[in-house]
Structure 1
Amino acid sequence: MEFTTWPQVNMINQKNYYTEFLKQDDQALAVRLQQEERLNARKKAAVDIDRARAQAAQDGVPYAERDADLDDDVAMDDADGEDYGSKTIVIHIGSQNMRIGLATDALPKTIPMVIAKRSTRSESEDSEPLPKRVKLDGPSEEWFGEEFAREYNTMAQDFKTMRRHNKRRVLPNSRELVTKWNSATPPEMIPEHSDPMRIDWTELPDNAKAAQDHIVGHAALRIPEKSKPRYRLFWPIQHGWLNEKDYNNRNMLEHDFFLIIEDSIRNELGLNHKREWAQYSCVFIIPDLYEKVMVTRVLDELLRDFSFQRVCFIQESLAATFGAGVGAACMVDMGAQKTSISCVEDGMIIEDSRINLKYGGYDVTEAFVRMMLFDRFHYSDFNLMRRHDYLLAEELKAQFTTMSDEDISVKLFDFHLRAHGQQTRKYNFKIYDESMLAPLGFFRPTIFDQSRKLIGRHTIMPRSVDLYNGRPNDPLSKAQIAVYTFVNQFIPSAVSAPPAQSAQFLSTSTPVRRPLALPSHLNGDTDGTPRSSPAGSPAPEDGSTPHPTGDDANGDDIAEIKDIQPDTDVIDRAVPIMPLEQAILISIQHAAGTGPESERRRRDLLGSIMCIGGASKTPYLGAYLEMRLRAAFPQFPREILVVPPPRELDPAVLVWKGGSVFGKLRMTNDSWIGRLEYDRLGSRILNYKCIWHW
């Protein structure tokens, strides 16, 4: 007798079984919906043709047959005609600015990525002054610590050596002339009614209860410091990440982030009613090395709360190639607080070449202010946390910084300090080499302050992890791991102290001297390079799995990176920084690979390096970068070429322009994510819709 009436299922023969689950295109919802959409378009086109033929026969006129076959997708989905893209919103988020507009717009609207919220105290009253003063009771040379003084003096000495090498005149007492003048020249007071360039501050109602709860963009930066009621500024994006340092709550951080986007759509694009948004599509531009939690959260918000008809994502470097109209290039995107480098070929980003460095134009601004204060700048109360000082610093950087040593000499300049409720102060000041040493930080990033860039990291925003093994699965390229390796060996100031329970990370390998002191991957030597998982997979939690390493390839001051294998803990504690020319060479080398086409690909990429982003507009930056690259890689003296964006396009909006071009292409139909697909599959739809490996 059987013990139960339940039917018993025999075990499957492990040697002979087969399944077709998700092995055919029509079994995937995303592909099936695309096929149905194309079929419906063909049916509609066929009905239109039959109707046109019947109308022509009724009118007694011959019907002009179409050149295109019904099986072709040419113009089948061209329902909008020449205005295709007028219902597509393109959004590019940055740490300092957001660029937004319709795909048919020639240029985007640029809005500061900042929100002012009612508070009891402003940000300058609640925070210590920036640049951070280490010591205030001594001379200005001691304000920022011994490390900054040593780096600054070393850079100044190297700069003198370079000028002598270039046959430039060098005065021995240039620094003394600057410090003496700046410390002894007081400002000139100008009454506000006599200042024709006075600032239009944001007007607030006399009744505090009638004041707005939040103000976004340019108006937020023009709120007086001591306004009634008080407002505090928040920047939801910092260094390309969500700003976890200034927020204590994830919901509030995400709320401010999307509130800036929502207000910009209403005020800048004129779409005041959300019921209109259901007719619009959205192209959202994300970093090359993105965070999956952020991308999935943006997708959910745009489809559910914003109610867009459909959404698609494109990476920054790929969008830049669309904007520049090139098929293959090494894109160097220099933003306000991050610099990303990626090699693009045939419309795809080479995954192993992606690099994200945490410095940009704002670091140059802060370094420029520190250098002027170091040289006894008379406005010693300079504080970047104050709104008018921040705007002034950005203006001074844009006006005086340069990368041409031909323009460097002791010169007299002036600027006007305008603060709400105060008389305008006119300062006369002298500068010497500060205007070039500050942007030289791109090639010597140790001059930048790295102490605040990792504060609060992953404290309120969870990290995306693999569902099966629990390991982080955000994309991490081999070139980016090489940057972390460089930081761990040569820039200890950019690595925070390990937790008490973590063991100290040590290296036991011995460096190997190589020809020209170049790294192994720059010489084609890959035998000793440990292999890792494919690009896009994360570094494991332990340090037992080998990972690729990188090397320092500087021209004048070449150092070698030991074969360190950083684990996840070390990566979380290190700020990814590296001299710009070295990072470009490492990115190109990882993009070239080791196959038979590697040499040709390397030469092509070296000859198509393009600097974009707002920080790339520093005068003569491209020429100086080209000189540094040729010094670091003398094997290719003629192939190396740094080119500006074509057609005189503004490099700051080139990525957005590429996103608008991408949004108008018919080929992007396969990357659009609709509401039906997202409701059924959730964020899993990104595996089918992204045009890169998700």
Structure 2
Amino acid sequence: MSELSDSEVKVEVEEQAVPKKTPKQESSESTNGSAPKKQKRGSAASGQKVSAEILQRRREGRIKALATLQSKLDKLGIKRVDQKNALPASTVPSISLINQKNYFTGYLKRDEQNLSIKNVKEMNRLLAEKKKKDKLSKSSAGTSTNTPDVDGEDEDDNDGDVDERVGSNTIVMHPGTTNIRIGLATDIDPKIIKNVIAFPRRPGQESTKGYIFESRKGSEHEAKEFETHLPSIVSSFRERMRYYKRRILPNSNETVANFNKRQEPQVVEDHNDIHKVDFLDSKKLLNDPEVKYLVGDDALRLDDYSDWILRSPFYKGNFNEDKSIYRSNQEILGDIELVIKEGLSKNLGIEPAKYADLNIILIIPNLYDKTYVAEMTNLLINMSFANIGVLQEGVSATFGSGISNGCVIDIGSHYTKVCCVDEGMIIPNSQIELDYGGDDVTKTFAKMLKRNQFPYKELDLSRITDWNLISQLKEKYLTFEDADIAIQLYNFSVRNPHQLTKKYDFKVFDEVMISPMGFFYPEVFGARGSPINRKGNFFDVHRDYFSGRYDSPLSRSQLDQVEGKFLANMEDLEEIVNRLLSESCGLGSNYNMGNNSNTSSGNNNLGNTGAATAGSEDSSDYMEIEETKLKKQIKNFLELKKEGKGLNLTPLELAVIESISYAGFQDMNKLKKLYENILIVGGSSKIDGLDLILVDRIHIARSPVLYSTSLDQAIKYITLKKEEFEKANKDSKTEGDVKEFKITEEHLEHLRGLLEGTSAVPIEILSSSRDIDPAEMCWKGGSVYARLKIVNEMWINKEEWNIFNDRAFNYKCLFTF
């Protein structure tokens, strides 16, 4: 029997609910004269129970009637479907609340969930399959008779011909203020491209060479500073000569000046000048429609610059935002692209069509600007290079020299960098940037020569030819060797456009050593301000994604030196320990200025200092006090930098002591390794005897506390006492009552007992390894890094860059971006 509908069940219930009539009621009805009704066919007689058969026929009839009615309604399009056509009130799906008691997520907690790591694994899988197929093809081709490789671990380093060896498709680029070093990772030496590009002057535009070239002439303020601080350098020089028993002849400077005053030039004919410079005809180039710009050395060989504009896109590890020569960030990036293309085309024979098959390693500063790194990476990606990798200069120098731990001193043309490296990582707060370099020594050397009546009276450092002349003399004759300091006779040749070569004889004395001693007395260079009034601010400041604040990295040692606070100059033991103690509490892990600050300015904030996660609750009060001090220090530094006054003119030996002290004061083994592995690199470091005088200067400047072999024990003792003090005051502390730990006289007596009688940590300067030019050490390290297997995990391709942008550096760098 088919199932009954609701209506059928209702009818059946009504039928059963009709009361039955008694015999008396039936007889009364008959006596009333009413005729009995005729019984219908198929129905039960009155007073009789309806049979099941009749009920079944009724049900089937009703079902048939309902079916007929429903078919007619369907034909008419009348149909009630409440459940199927019920529209929701909103298209937004409702999400049930999360049960916080059992909440868990695995999002980005496994390597397989990261796109970058997935791509690396997929690439390794494809390479393994390719090697397997190559082996099978070789064996099938009849090469099975050859001696098989027993150790296949490094087979990819030597397989294939010379063009297919590791690094043959990787370019290493190291941009600098003066030179850009670029070349393949398999090259012995890089190609050097001058950081300059020349454009014809447009109508109505002033001819200029920019701040880099115009500042070479110096200012009156710098001249006054030179005259003021020169006597202190001369006094130090004479003391050193007396200490090493070097005799100085009296009236030596007067003898040199009298000789130079009488010198007349000797004219050299062109056919006798083997080093003659072929200057380019600027007028002819201006009329040539195919010449739209000149790059590198060609831009520095023009005979006349009155109708040309010189641009230098890089300046001190960043973009050159000189608004006198640039009008937008696109002009700067365009110049960089032109320099790279011309350098690759002329020096390496690589055309833009081949860029898609090449990878490139970009070497960046230790204290990098995040905007600079991101914009350079974006530029190289848009130039169609296959993969991009970045490496810091300090780490690159250690790769090039073959050391794993050391203090790296990179002396460049415009600024000097100091940092400490431990196992391929730069130690936080050891990075220092000094605002002087080899060009300052060149200007000082020129001033010293003029004091001794330099025979070339028309010397003008703003002229490119004269600057190159003094630079050549500096590279040849400057020295720190005491035995070479005497009256020496030399000669030089002046080569100017449209003039015959003139040869001069001249004598020098102490200026060859006093000039580079400016590294240890930087005041003689002049407390010049940065060209802040000429800065265009073309690039946006990189900001933290969450707080929206400026977050480029800083170093604690850099902040202290800008304010003139030096550990080496502190004579009070309590002051030194307090300074180092502020680092050991966890505040010194990384000074990215973008996450946890509430300073008044949105740009002045302390970043990931480690204070939020490092240490225990007991030390939170002390860390809060130190963090407040640090925020104020950072704010002052940024304000000075904004005004062009935040320059670091710390003497070189003090900068080395500060960097090593901040890096290794908690671990004596690390401190010893850093002092015993001091590496000097950079183009301006090629001065004879620099390593010897630097060791002497460090010995003189180091305080007994900093060179003691028990320094780490002293810091551990004070740290323990501080923790005991905070634990004892934890329960008694009331709300708002913050007690600061202070070193008592009892503590100082114990420290003196630890430090007294200990030996000094030895100092050793590493020589240039394997006769590598110090100027090329960083580039060489980049080429070594490009041939390591780990570099395959550090590449950033276009797909990843488009998805992550600069967040890709968090997954693809050896350092924390």
TM range (shorter): 0.7 to 0.9
Paired residues in the alignment total: 636
Residue matched to 2:774: 651
Aligned with 1:117 (options 184, 194, 199): 199
1:163 is the counterpart of 2:241: yes
CA shift digits 1:140-185 (9 cap, x unpaired): xxx9543321111221233223323332223443333344444454
> Within 1, Cα distance between the matches of 2:572 and 2:114?
51
1:429 is the counterpart of 2:517: no
TM-score, length of structure 2 as denominator length: 0.71
> Within 2, Cα distance between the matches of 1:317 and 1:480?
16
> Within 1, Cα distance between the matches of 2:436 and 2:273?
36
Which SS does the other structure have where 1:333 is aligned?
strand
Contact 1:131 1:369 in 2 (8 A): no
For structure 1, list consecutive stretches of 5 or more residues without a partner in the other structure: 135-142, 491-510, 549-561
> Within 1, Cα distance between the matches of 2:775 and 2:295?
21
1:81–1:55 distance in 2 versus 1, CA, 3 Å = closer
The CA deviation at 1:32 is 0.9
Aligned with 1:520 (options 564, 576, 590): 576
Which SS does the other structure have where 1:367 is aligned?
helix
Contact 2:549 2:605 in 1 (8 A): no
**RMSD across aligned C-alpha pairs, in angstroms?**
3.5
> Within 2, Cα distance between the matches of 1:124 and 1:313?
31
Contact 2:222 2:526 in 1 (8 A): no
Equivalent runs, 1:23-42 vs 2, <5 Å: 23-42=109-128
Residue matched to 2:686: 617
Residue matched to 1:578: 650
Q: Which moved more, 1:433-442 or 1:458-467?
A: 458-467
Name the aligned partner's letter for residue 591 of structure 1. A
> Within 1, Cα distance between the matches of 2:272 and 2:146?
74
> Within 2, Cα distance between the matches of 1:19 and 1:27?
12
> Within 1, Cα distance between the matches of 2:808 and 2:480?
46
1:226–1:462 distance in 2 versus 1, CA, 3 Å = closer
Which SS does the other structure have where 2:656 is aligned?
helix
> Within 2, Cα distance between the matches of 1:4 and 1:395?
82
Contact 1:293 1:463 in 2 (8 A): yes
1:600 is the counterpart of 2:682: no
Contact 2:432 2:555 in 1 (8 A): yes
1:266–1:51 distance in 2 versus 1, CA, 3 Å = closer
CA shift digits 1:566-588 (9 cap, x unpaired): 42213443112311111111111
TM-score, length of structure 1 as denominator length: 0.83
Contact 1:336 1:360 in 2 (8 A): yes
Q: Which moved more, 1:144-153 or 1:28-37?
A: 144-153
1:88–1:196 distance in 2 versus 1, CA, 3 Å = closer
1:62–1:407 distance in 2 versus 1, CA, 3 Å = closer
Which SS does the other structure have where 2:287 is aligned?
helix
Residue matched to 2:633: 565
Q: Which moved more, 1:196-205 or 1:95-104?
A: 196-205
Name the aligned partner's letter for residue 461 of structure 1. F
Residue matched to 1:559: none
Residue matched to 2:587: 532
1:479 is the counterpart of 2:557: yes
> Within 2, Cα distance between the matches of 1:401 and 1:295?
35
Equivalent runs, 1:228-627 vs 2, <5 Å: 230-245=307-322, 246-272=325-351, 274-305=352-383, 307-455=384-532, 456-457=534-535, 459-486=537-564, 513-515=571-573, 520=576, 525-526=580-581, 532=587, 534-538=589-593, 542=600, 565-567=633-635, 568-572=638-642, 573-594=645-666, 598-627=667-696
The CA deviation at 1:421 is 1.3
Which SS does the other structure have where 1:363 is aligned?
helix
Equivalent runs, 1:72-151 vs 2, <5 Å: 75=155, 83-119=165-201, 122-123=207-208, 130-134=216-220, 145-151=223-229
Residue matched to 2:71: none
Contact 1:613 1:652 in 2 (8 A): yes
The CA deviation at 1:348 is 2.0
The CA deviation at 1:414 is 2.6
CA shift digits 1:624-661 (9 cap, x unpaired): 11111222236465620011121111111111111111
CA shift digits 1:175-211 (9 cap, x unpaired): 3334444445454444555544322223557373316
> Within 2, Cα distance between the matches of 1:488 and 1:20?
47
* Greater helix share, structure number: 2
> Within 2, Cα distance between the matches of 1:669 and 1:643?
31
Which SS does the other structure have where 1:206 is aligned?
helix
1:450–1:113 distance in 2 versus 1, CA, 3 Å = farther
1:534–1:470 distance in 2 versus 1, CA, 3 Å = farther
> Within 1, Cα distance between the matches of 2:192 and 2:90?
72
Residue matched to 1:137: none
For structure 2, list consecutive stretches of 5 or more residues without a partner in the other structure: 1-86, 610-628, 708-758
Contact 2:406 2:420 in 1 (8 A): yes
1:686–1:435 distance in 2 versus 1, CA, 3 Å = same
The CA deviation at 1:48 is 4.7
1:130–1:182 distance in 2 versus 1, CA, 3 Å = farther
1:218 is the counterpart of 2:274: no
The CA deviation at 1:600 is 0.9
> Within 1, Cα distance between the matches of 2:567 and 2:207?
40
Which SS does the other structure have where 1:473 is aligned?
coil
Equivalent runs, 1:59-74 vs 2, <5 Å: none
Equivalent runs, 1:165-180 vs 2, <5 Å: 165-180=243-258
> Within 1, Cα distance between the matches of 2:677 and 2:356?
41
Contact 2:590 2:608 in 1 (8 A): no
Aligned with 1:672 (options 795, 800, 808): 795
1:662 is the counterpart of 2:785: yes
The percent identity for this pair of structures is: 31
> Within 1, Cα distance between the matches of 2:285 and 2:402?
53
CA shift digits 1:424-475 (9 cap, x unpaired): 3333333322111111111111111442534345722332111222322112
Q: Which moved more, 1:124-133 or 1:177-186?
A: 124-133
The CA deviation at 1:606 is 0.5
CA shift digits 1:81-107 (9 cap, x unpaired): 652211111111111111111111111
Q: Which moved more, 1:75-84 or 1:158-167?
A: 75-84
Residue matched to 2:53: none
Contact 2:672 2:761 in 1 (8 A): no
Which SS does the other structure have where 1:22 is aligned?
coil
CA shift digits 1:238-263 (9 cap, x unpaired): 22222122433222122112211111
Name the aligned partner's letter for residue 627 of structure 1. D
> Within 2, Cα distance between the matches of 1:639 and 1:181?
45
Which SS does the other structure have where 1:351 is aligned?
coil
Contact 2:389 2:796 in 1 (8 A): yes
> Within 1, Cα distance between the matches of 2:127 and 2:214?
61
> Within 2, Cα distance between the matches of 1:336 and 1:606?
25
Which SS does the other structure have where 1:390 is aligned?
helix
Name the aligned partner's letter for residue 450 of structure 2. L
1:108–1:52 distance in 2 versus 1, CA, 3 Å = closer
Which SS does the other structure have where 1:615 is aligned?
helix
The CA deviation at 1:11 is 4.5
1:198–1:28 distance in 2 versus 1, CA, 3 Å = same
Contact 1:404 1:619 in 2 (8 A): yes
Contact 1:416 1:424 in 2 (8 A): yes
1:566–1:180 distance in 2 versus 1, CA, 3 Å = farther
> Within 2, Cα distance between the matches of 1:124 and 1:35?
50
Q: Which moved more, 1:617-626 or 1:453-462?
A: 453-462
Name the aligned partner's letter for residue 599 of structure 1. M
